[in-house]
Chain A
């Protein structure tokens, strides 16, 4: 049962990702990305990391994709032309190289024998997260808070309108 679920959700992650990379309309790409993130969240659930699965939906699929859609709307990006053949083939070659390298690494024994799953399923509850976050990893936690603040301030500064932009787009 588990295997079927894994394969299904893996496909749900990979296939839309492929469409993200090749869609000519940005909106299509954004929607595909959302589906891909949902698939990813499902994989997290399979890995019994429920907390992070929900977080993934909330932040990634919820906030980030929405942000993308807002900007697409703002910029009014149209559809892109077909990519040129040479570029496509070169990128495909790079893709193939990476996949083969990865395949060799993972399945060819290059990275050594991988751990077996242990019987115990930890569940990774939010409580466990909280304990570690507020004791051992307090510093990174606080720094992340600062980072969010900085990002917010940065965004506000960057979106400020300058005199030369008066002739630009809309509000």
Chain B
């Protein structure tokens, strides 16, 4: 079978599933679950077939023209190269296990049809982004993914919190997408094409046409989708959605789409743009790590850790590509070091973050939807498998050398940071320490010690549909740093494109990572204690705790802006709309037509004599026309 056909099956299977669910299974939960899970299975199988033989590793591109408007052509097509293959693997693999998890987790939900339909739509949109071969197609699917996210965050229709969060996510994303679209148009304007392969060629021929502004505008889309500063505010709120959604969309795949896009379009970034990109990532990573300390909700902690890790990925891309540009002589693939570092961290992050979220889902499910970690505790006795897998996840994110996949990926990022920008390196290393610290805090308070509430006391291990994905992901979180875990076609990227430190640097990096992770975990145990009832930081250092809790007042500033400026502007425009468009244009034309009608009605006097007079007028007009007097008027 042709590659293009297989790719089409991968892309369209979830769409078919969503369509069928929409038509037949909105009230039939079992059918909806089967269809959605089936589609995810088809995607996994077809991807596996691709990676284990059908695809030979070379760049494959196929496409057709979809829309032609004058000289502008919009085409749809697939571009399968090392980068998109890796992303496809992540989406297919992690996506399948999360689908399986949802079957168990959502078993008491009343709107499962809608949920699984949304999941399928999301898979379709995400795969569209992964496989897209040109910027416009990617943008279309970008927006589709935003819509799926909106739909799924707002899944719990009856809670105000979910509705607000969905709205916020969509609007903040829209702000980013605005810059994104302008960037795409600018690229099209400058280069005359939006196809990724063609852009790469043309940008290589004319490097001076690639401007910093273009790169930064394109980066706006990343700011929105991957929740970098200052558009990060939507991600913590998005935790109002169901936990599988938080795992799939807001941890493993959708938020990573921004980083994936950076990889796809790396040739459109100048050195200045890369520097700004890197620093945005660093700042996000550090700030998010600081804010995680004041959170009590288990999902919110994980959300801030996602923000922090995304900052790592973005910083890794920026610093890595800079490193590659400066050390181009080292190896053939040096230019791809940024992509390699960020994508590798994306991969490992997908594994352990999905694992952590699913684990928290298991815990939440068992504790009857209790999400405050200070009300949990003692879960290691009642839910051993969940505890074990969660511990694996914590070790992975902390980056303990050799037994954590996160170690290898973070190692690569720290290495390029060290070689490129010393301040960035120190900040990132400090953040690694903080990461281990707050994740340790989470683990020790929630899982160890004694149960602090009745719900926690009555918890029991979750069913196999929930636990099996945890186990699988735990295996990959631990072993994900080793090449053997990946299909052969994907090993090229991981082996060649990820920068590895050599010689003395190698040992130095191992030591640094070891210190950061282990010291962080130990400190967490010491400071917070197992199963603590109150937050030690809150009680001992209130000012520090207050700064962390404030999250630097971003939400408050945005709310103020919306209330004072945005709403006023909207009111003005609304007023204009009522006045001009609906008043003058709509009701005006209706009124004019009505007036004409009233005037015409007046002609019907009912008096025959009047009608005769009208006859006469008509006769005169006719005579004038026949006599040629109206030639001038009728010209």
Tell me the A residues contacting B by CB distance below 8 Å: 90, 94, 97, 101, 110
Would A110 and B627 count as touching, CB distance under 8 A? yes
Chain B residues, Cβ within 8 Å of A110: 627
Q: Would you mind naming 5 contact pairs between A and B with Cβ atoms under 8 Å apart?
A: A90-B613, A94-B616, A97-B620, A101-B623, A110-B627
Chain A residues, Cβ within 8 Å of B620: 97
- For the complex formed, measure the closest distance between the CB of A112 and the CB atoms of chain B, giving whole angstroms: 13
- For the complex formed, measure the closest distance between the CB of B551 and the CB atoms of chain A, giving whole angstroms: 87
Q: Please measure, in the bound complex, the distance between the C-alpha atom of A17 and the C-alpha atom of B595, giving whole angstroms.
A: 44
Interface positions of B from 590 to 635, Cβ below 8 Å from A: 613, 616, 620, 623, 627
Is chain A's binding surface mostly helix, strand, loop or mixed? helix
- For the complex formed, measure the closest distance between the CB of B623 and the CB atoms of chain A, giving whole angstroms: 6
- For the complex formed, measure the closest distance between the CB of B615 and the CB atoms of chain A, giving whole angstroms: 10
Tell me the B residues contacting A by CB distance below 8 Å: 613, 616, 620, 623, 627
Chain A residues, Cβ within 8 Å of B623: 101
Q: Please measure, in the bound complex, the distance between the C-alpha atom of A97 and the C-alpha atom of B624, giving whole angstroms.
A: 12
- For the complex formed, measure the closest distance between the CB of B605 and the CB atoms of chain A, giving whole angstroms: 15
Q: Please measure, in the bound complex, the distance between the C-alpha atom of A110 and the C-alpha atom of B627, giving whole angstroms.
A: 9
- For the complex formed, measure the closest distance between the CB of B116 and the CB atoms of chain A, giving whole angstroms: 74
- For the complex formed, measure the closest distance between the CB of A97 and the CB atoms of chain B, giving whole angstroms: 7
Chain A residues, Cβ within 8 Å of B616: 94
**How many A-B Cβ pairs are below 8 Å?**
5
- For the complex formed, measure the closest distance between the CB of B624 and the CB atoms of chain A, giving whole angstroms: 9
Chain B residues, Cβ within 8 Å of A101: 623
Q: Please measure, in the bound complex, the distance between the C-alpha atom of A94 and the C-alpha atom of B616, giving whole angstroms.
A: 8
Q: Please measure, in the bound complex, the distance between the C-alpha atom of A94 and the C-alpha atom of B627, giving whole angstroms.
A: 17
- For the complex formed, measure the closest distance between the CB of B622 and the CB atoms of chain A, giving whole angstroms: 12
Residue of B nearest to A90 (CB): B613
Residue of A nearest to B609 (CB): A87
Chain B residues, Cβ within 8 Å of A97: 620
Q: Please measure, in the bound complex, the distance between the C-alpha atom of A90 and the C-alpha atom of B609, giving whole angstroms.
A: 12
Q: Please measure, in the bound complex, the distance between the C-alpha atom of A67 and the C-alpha atom of B613, giving whole angstroms.
A: 28
Q: Please measure, in the bound complex, the distance between the C-alpha atom of A94 and the C-alpha atom of B614, giving whole angstroms.
A: 12
- For the complex formed, measure the closest distance between the CB of A24 and the CB atoms of chain B, giving whole angstroms: 17
- In the A-B complex, list the 5 residue pairs whose CB atoms are closest, starting with the nearest: A94-B616, A101-B623, A97-B620, A110-B627, A90-B613
- For the complex formed, measure the closest distance between the CB of A131 and the CB atoms of chain B, giving whole angstroms: 35
Chain A residues, Cβ within 8 Å of B627: 110
Q: Please measure, in the bound complex, the distance between the C-alpha atom of A101 and the C-alpha atom of B627, giving whole angstroms.
A: 10
- For the complex formed, measure the closest distance between the CB of B420 and the CB atoms of chain A, giving whole angstroms: 99
Chain A residues, Cβ within 8 Å of B613: 90
Q: Please measure, in the bound complex, the distance between the C-alpha atom of A33 and the C-alpha atom of B410, giving whole angstroms.
A: 118
Q: Please measure, in the bound complex, the distance between the C-alpha atom of A110 and the C-alpha atom of B623, giving whole angstroms.
A: 13
Q: Please measure, in the bound complex, the distance between the C-alpha atom of A93 and the C-alpha atom of B218, giving whole angstroms.
A: 80
Q: Please measure, in the bound complex, the distance between the C-alpha atom of A110 and the C-alpha atom of B624, giving whole angstroms.
A: 13
Residue of B nearest to A110 (CB): B627
Q: Please measure, in the bound complex, the distance between the C-alpha atom of A97 and the C-alpha atom of B620, giving whole angstroms.
A: 9
- For the complex formed, measure the closest distance between the CB of A123 and the CB atoms of chain B, giving whole angstroms: 35
- For the complex formed, measure the closest distance between the CB of B425 and the CB atoms of chain A, giving whole angstroms: 103
Residue of B nearest to A101 (CB): B623
Chain B residues, Cβ within 8 Å of A94: 616
Q: Please measure, in the bound complex, the distance between the C-alpha atom of A90 and the C-alpha atom of B616, giving whole angstroms.
A: 11
Residue of A nearest to B628 (CB): A110
Residue of A nearest to B624 (CB): A101
Q: Please measure, in the bound complex, the distance between the C-alpha atom of A110 and the C-alpha atom of B626, giving whole angstroms.
A: 11
Chain B residues, Cβ within 8 Å of A90: 613
Q: Please measure, in the bound complex, the distance between the C-alpha atom of A97 and the C-alpha atom of B616, giving whole angstroms.
A: 11
Residue of A nearest to B623 (CB): A101
Q: Please measure, in the bound complex, the distance between the C-alpha atom of A168 and the C-alpha atom of B616, giving whole angstroms.
A: 35
Q: Please measure, in the bound complex, the distance between the C-alpha atom of A114 and the C-alpha atom of B616, giving whole angstroms.
A: 28
- For the complex formed, measure the closest distance between the CB of A107 and the CB atoms of chain B, giving whole angstroms: 15
Q: Please measure, in the bound complex, the distance between the C-alpha atom of A105 and the C-alpha atom of B619, giving whole angstroms.
A: 15
- For the complex formed, measure the closest distance between the CB of A15 and the CB atoms of chain B, giving whole angstroms: 24
Residue of B nearest to A94 (CB): B616
- For the complex formed, measure the closest distance between the CB of A165 and the CB atoms of chain B, giving whole angstroms: 22
Residue of A nearest to B616 (CB): A94
- For the complex formed, measure the closest distance between the CB of B92 and the CB atoms of chain A, giving whole angstroms: 85
Q: Please measure, in the bound complex, the distance between the C-alpha atom of A101 and the C-alpha atom of B620, giving whole angstroms.
A: 10
Residue of A nearest to B617 (CB): A94
Q: Please measure, in the bound complex, the distance between the C-alpha atom of A94 and the C-alpha atom of B620, giving whole angstroms.
A: 9
- For the complex formed, measure the closest distance between the CB of A164 and the CB atoms of chain B, giving whole angstroms: 21
Q: Please measure, in the bound complex, the distance between the C-alpha atom of A97 and the C-alpha atom of B623, giving whole angstroms.
A: 11
Q: Please measure, in the bound complex, the distance between the C-alpha atom of A110 and the C-alpha atom of B613, giving whole angstroms.
A: 26
